[in-house]
Amino acid sequence: MKLTAEMLPFIRKCRGLSQSVFAEYSGIPQARLSDIETGKISITDHYTGKLFLAIGKLKFNEKELQRISELVKNQNK
């Protein structure tokens, strides 16, 4: 699954996490996470790896991520 910046706020909200707490899970500085979420910088392979590690720690399954992806796609229509 391709992780997009638009998915990140939904992922955080599914677990009731602030951007700061999610940043701690991912090991990405909060300011950089904000830049990713707002599209100021793209998600590089380096950040993708860190984000997927955080997603794993938060026990997301493929079905949840697929649903979030669908929500983002529907929101952008």
Query: Considering only CA atoms, which of 54, 50, 68, 73 is closest in space to residue 10?
Result: 68
d(CA 50, CA 40): 18
Whole-structure pTM value: 0.92
pLDDT at position 76 is: 78
> How many C-beta atoms lie closer than 10 Å to residue 68's C-beta?
22
Task: Give the pLDDT confidence of 13-69 residue by residue, as tens digits.
Answer: 999 999 999 999 999 999 999 999 999 999 999 999 999 999 999 999 999 999 999
